[in-house]
Each structure stands twice: as structure tokens, then as C-alpha cells.
Amino acid sequence: MYRCAECGLAACCDTGDAASYPGNCPSRESFETEVVGDYRDGEVNHLARSAALVEAHGYCRLTRIEEIMDFARRCGYSRLGLAFCIGLQAEAAIVSRVLRANGFSVDSVACKNGSLPKEEL
């Protein structure tokens, strides 16, 4: 089982030295053939490149909302979806207004859509 959230070493981010990775680190596995190849062309490459450019340009300089808008623009998206917990409806309304004010069309849905009782889940 992977436990990156509890690692504390972050050797995969800092050194890239596989010898310093904990025994259960997913970075010990070979991603080159299974995963990295998927990032080399097509839509996956476009999305990954757009995400990397957003991070390179805005990391610790832009808010998350600004990053989302930057990513959406780089990907050519003008219509965005917003799924939110009903307890955050006021915040979702603010996010929706910000996105719309910046030229995006926004569709949103709350977690309690359909009023299905949690007991039935």
C-alpha cells in the first residue's frame, strides 16, 4: 500500500535517487513503459503539457482559481463544470461568478442533487 501522504522524505521530488526511496514508494516501480509513454502524444500530452505550463508560470504566484482559469484557457475550454458539496453552496456561487466574469460558461451541480438519502447509499 502506498502512503505518500505520510512519507515525510519526498525523495521522489527532491533527489530522484531511487536508492533513497522508502520500500513502499510507488516511484520504485517502472513508470517509463506503463505511464510515461502515454504522456508523449495526443490529448494526454496536451493536458499534461498545459498543466505543467500552468505550474511553471503560476506556482505560488497565482491563486488556485487563477490556475484553473489559466489551465482551461491553455486547453481551449470555455465551458466548465463545478461539482460541490451542498455545505459549500455559498463558496460555489462565488467561484461560479468569478469564472463567469472571466469569460467562462459554468454548469454546476450539488452533491445532494436528487435528494437521495445517505442511508440509501
Report how many domains make up the chain: 1
Query: What cell was used for 111?
Result: 452533491
CB 75 within 8 A of CB 100: no
| 83 vs 90: CA distance, rounded Å | 13
Is residue 94 scored above 90 in pLDDT? yes
| 73 vs 37: CA distance, rounded Å | 25
Q: Output the pLDDT for position 35.
A: 66
Which residue type does 85 have? C
The gap between the terminal CA atoms of the chain, to the nearest Å, is 27
Asked whether residue 15 is assigned to any structural domain, the reply reads: no
Asked whether residue 33 is assigned to any structural domain, the reply reads: no
- Domain containing 99 equals 79-121
Q: Does the predicted TM-score (pTM) go above 0.85?
A: no
Q: State pLDDT tens for residues 33-71.
A: 566 777 888 898 999 999 999 999 999 999 999 999 999
Asked whether residue 108 is assigned to any structural domain, the reply reads: yes
Asked whether residue 40 is assigned to any structural domain, the reply reads: no
Classify residue 74 by its DSSP letter: H
